[in-house]
Each structure stands twice: as structure tokens, then as C-alpha cells.
Chain A
Amino acid sequence: MEATVTTANSEDKTWGGGNEPMGASYGKMMMWFFIMSDALTFSGFLAAYGLSRFKFIETWPLADEVFTHFPFLHGVSAPMYYVALMTFILIFSSVTMVLAVDAGHQMKKNKVIVYMFLTIIGGLIFVGSQAWEWKNFIKGEYGAVETKGGSLLQFVDKDGNRVALADFASTLHGERVQHTSNKGTWFLSEGELPSYSLAEVQAGFKAHPELSVRIESIYEATPDNVKDAKINHDLSKFKHKTVLSREESISRLADGHYVVEGANLIRNEYGNKLFADFFFFITGFHGFHVFSGVILNIIVFFNVLIGTYEKRRSYEMVEKVGLYWHFVDLVWVFVFTVFYLV
């Protein structure tokens, strides 16, 4: 027992062993320093995201146009609501965790069991929500065309609302079979083909005169921009993406070379390629932390059930795992701000 839980000692035997620097037990202090190093790791990631965003400040995707899904509300644009819900779930599971720690201090085993159980459920719901968020992000909604220069063209109707490729692309009769490694002269295969070929998108765009192309640049009414005939000034709004005039749209689309649907680590339909990379990496790393937190919580939960801490006469282990769990919540607070709000 002495190895796992140290208790307060008197001042007179500083060198007699069993001492607690900074008034915290060994395990708790090490958990704090682990959290500190982990916090610095996350800060590094978020700072790198900030660097890339500052680098491409004029073309970075706008978060409230990307994350607009809510379960069972198909086609309804609901920016932010879903992540707000996820934030609540995580904060609430933090509350049940701190209630479990509190009950542990009172040595109330049954209360600890109930609160730990609720915490685990909250964590699982959060991981599930994140998986759903990823699914929508990977699947995409509207589709876009990448130009030879690597910039992205999206499509809007006469009111400036986004239009999906499926709504206007025409069907051309052409054979384009997915290449697999056993059919070529060299053992190369290619990824899944997009639902529409570039030619189909271009033909469909020409056939729909009400459509315009929206580029990545965020519009600002500078003297140069206002005079620019290539920009559709009715649909381009300050701090929103620039919409091009019809003629310019057709000529830009002619430079297209790839149809983008959804998101992967190479390209995404939302805008800058780095945006999806950072999204996958940072929310993925956070989700991995939540997942490990759930596993740790389950282990401690079973230890509480079989009475390990009751025998130890201390629920400090619940407190330590609680520290980690709150840290996961803390990181999410920052990820929420950086990815969804700012």
C-alpha cells in the first residue's frame, strides 16, 4: 500500500523517506508533469496550424461553411450546433468525473461507481460523435474542381448558394475504367474515380448559365477589386469567398484537371489542402486521447467495482485518471475554438 499511496508526513523527518515534494503524491505529480508535456505537444500542433493559416490567410476555408451537419437534419445547414453538442457532452462527462473524485474523497464506493460509469458513457458518445463528424468531412457535400495550379473551384447558383456537382454535371458517354494493378504494364493502381469526370462537370457548367465559380480568395472591397470585371460584385461579400463573373468562371474551369469529392490527406473539396491534413491530425490525436482516456477510465472503474481502492483506503487513482480526463476536455476547449469558431 505504501508504494501506491503516500500520506502526509510530519516536518521533522524530511530525510527519512516517504516525503512528498510539492505536497502531491508521486503518481499525482507525475500525472501533472505528463499533462504539462502533453499540453505542450498540443500547443505545438495548434501553433503549426496557426502558422499555415497565417501563411494562406486570404484563402483559408471558412469553418462555418465546412461543418454544417446535424444528425437527422438532412440538407439543413446547421453550423456549429453539432460541435457545441459534443462540447457539452465532454464538459458534462468532466463534471461526472469530478463528482466521482469528490465521492472518492468521501469513500462512497457506490457513488464513485455511478459517476465513473456516466463518465465512460459520455466519453464513448463523444468518440462516436467525432467518428460521425469525420464521416461527413470525408464524404463531402458539394464537390469541387481542382485547377492545374492547385487551387480549388466551387460552384454557386445565382443567389450565391453552393451547388453540388450532382445537380448540374451532365452525363457523357465515355469509358473510364478504374485502373487496377493487374491490368497495366506496371503494377500501379489508382484510387476510386470521382462520380463525374472533368469533362462532364465542364459540359454541365456550360449548359447551366445561372451558375458561377467561387474561388478560395476571401473577398475584400479594395479599389483594385472593385474595378475588377472578373469578379461578380453582387455575390462576393466582404469576408466571404470571391465569386467570379460568368465568363471568367468558364475560363477558370477550362484550367481544371481534377474533380474533388470529399476529403482525404491529399486534397479536399473545402479549400486549402493543409486544412484537411490539420483537421485529421489534430482532431484525430485528440480523439485518440479521448479513446485512451475511456480505456483508463474502464480499468479504474473495474478496480472500483472489485473494491481495490476500498482496501487501499484511498481513491487517489480515480483522482489521477480524473486529471487526465479533465485534460482531454481542456484540449477540446481549445480545438473547438481554433477549428470551429475562429
Chain B
Amino acid sequence: MSHEHVSNTAGIWKVFAILSAVTIIEVILGILKPDFLHMNHLLGMNLLNWVFYILTVFKAYYIVWSFMHLGGEKSSLRWAIVLPVVFLIIYILFIFLTEGHYIYGVFKDSTIKWNF
């Protein structure tokens, strides 16, 4: 195997602590919904949702890099996995969300009455 066989139990528990802490923060924010985050918007999304998405990606990084040990693989494998996924996800989100917003506009501005 390509990586050395040193036990890294302490590191595993550290990552567990980080993931738990982030989840607890998410739940507290989700229940309290502080107004300064929930009522302020950036690029069409409120700050609270931005915080949630950033924390989610933060957790995903620790799961993939530490638990799945991608951080310890060769850089060719790392890039072969991460690059297509990141690129395609950003691409599909851009297309789908733009389209969804467009259809919303069509419904809103059309002469069809939706709630009859």
C-alpha cells in the first residue's frame, strides 16, 4: 500500500470533535435563526443559508480528506476525483438554479392566475 501504517487514532477523534461541533453549531443556528443572518441577503440568498452551505462544505472536506483518506493519496488520484466532481456540481447548480429562477419569473409575470 502506498501510505505508511501508522496508527492515527488521535487524529480520528479530533476530526470527530470538529464534525460534531460544526453540526451542533448548525442545529443551534437552525433553531434560533438569528435575524442579522436570516434577514440579510447576499447574492439572492440570506446569510444564514450561506453559513449553512459553507459549514457543509467544511464538513465534507474533513470527511473526504481525513476519513476517506484522500489527503494521503497521490495527487493524481486526488485531482482525478475532486476536479470533475467540483466542476460538474458547480456547473449543474448554475444551470438548474438559473432555470428554476427563470421559470419562477414566467409564472409570476404571466397572465395565468395560479391560485384560483
A43 touches B52 (CB 8 A): no
Known A80-B31, A326-B68; judge A36-B81 contact (CB<8 A): yes
Residues of B within 8 A of A47 (CB): 89, 92-93, 96-97
Whether B7 sits at the interface, judged by CB under 8 Å, is yes
B97 near A51: Cβ-Cβ < 8 Å = yes
The reply to whether A52 and B92 contact each other, CB–CB distance below 8 Å, is no
Residue of B with least CB distance to A63: B30
> Are B52 and A342 in touch, CB under 8 angstroms?
yes
Would you call A29 an interface residue if the criterion is a C-beta within 8 Å of the partner chain's C-beta atoms? yes
Instruction: Decide yes or no: A91 and B68 within 8 Å by CB, A55-B104, A330-B63, A341-B52 being known contacts.
Output: no
- Annotate B34-47 by CB proximity to A: 1 below 8 A, 0 otherwise: 00001100000000
A337 interface contact, C-beta 8 A: yes
Can you list, as one digit per residue, whether each of A50-73 has a CB less than 8 Å from chain B (1) or not (0)?
A: 111111111000001000000000
Output the nearest chain A residue to B4 by Cβ-Cβ distance: A105
Q: A71-96 interface mask toward B, CB cutoff 8 Å, 1 = contact, 0 = none?
A: 00000000111001001100110110
A98 touches B67 (CB 8 A): yes
> B90 — nearest CB in chain A belongs to which residue?
A43
Q: How far is B9's CA from A48's CA once the two chains are assembled, in angstroms?
A: 39
Within 8 A of B (CB), among A90-135: 91-92, 94-95, 97-99, 101-102, 105-106
Q: Does the CB pair B1–A239 fall under 8 Å?
A: no
How far in angstroms is the closest Cβ of chain A from B87?
A: 11
Q: Cβ of A44 < 8 Å from any Cβ of B? A: yes
- Distance between Cα atoms of A50 and B103 in the complex (Å): 12
Complex CA distance for A57 and B45, rounded to whole angstroms: 11
Secondary structure dominating the interface of A: helix
Chain B interface mostly: helix
Q: B16–A342 contact, CB under 8 A?
A: no
User: Quick check: A36 and B23 within 8 Å, CB to CB?
Assistant: no
**A139 proximal to B (CB < 8 A):** no
Say yes or no: A149-B84 contact (C-beta < 8 A), given A102-B12, A333-B59: no
Within B1-42, the residues touching A (CB, 8 Å) are 1-2, 5, 7-9, 12-13, 15-16, 19-20, 23-24, 26-27, 29-31, 38-39
Within A214-228, the residues touching B (CB, 8 Å) are: 215
Q: A329 and B63: CB pair below 8 A? A: yes
**What 0/1 pattern do residues 78 to 91 of B give for CB contact below 8 A with A?**
00110011001100
The answer to whether A32 touches B77, judged by C-beta atoms less than 8 angstroms apart, is yes
Binding site for B on A (CB under 8 A): 7-8, 20-25, 29, 32-33, 35-36, 39-40, 43-44, 47-48, 50-58, 64, 79-81, 84, 87-88, 91-92, 94-95, 97-99, 101-102, 105-106, 147-149, 151, 215, 238-239, 255, 314, 316, 322-323, 326-327, 329-330, 333-334, 336-337, 340-342
Chosen A-B contacts, 27 in total, with CB atoms closer than 8 Å, are A22-B74, A22-B80, A23-B76, A23-B77, A43-B89, A43-B92, A44-B92, A47-B89, A50-B100, A51-B97, A51-B99, A51-B103, A64-B31, A94-B63, A95-B15, A102-B12, A147-B115, A149-B115, A238-B39, A239-B38, A314-B1, A323-B68, A326-B64, A327-B68, A337-B52, A341-B49, A342-B49
> Which B residues have a C-beta under 8 Å from some C-beta of A?
1-2, 5, 7-9, 12-13, 15-16, 19-20, 23-24, 26-27, 29-31, 38-39, 49, 52-53, 55-56, 59-60, 63-64, 66-69, 73-74, 76-77, 80-81, 84-85, 88-89, 92-93, 96-97, 99-101, 103-104, 107, 114-116
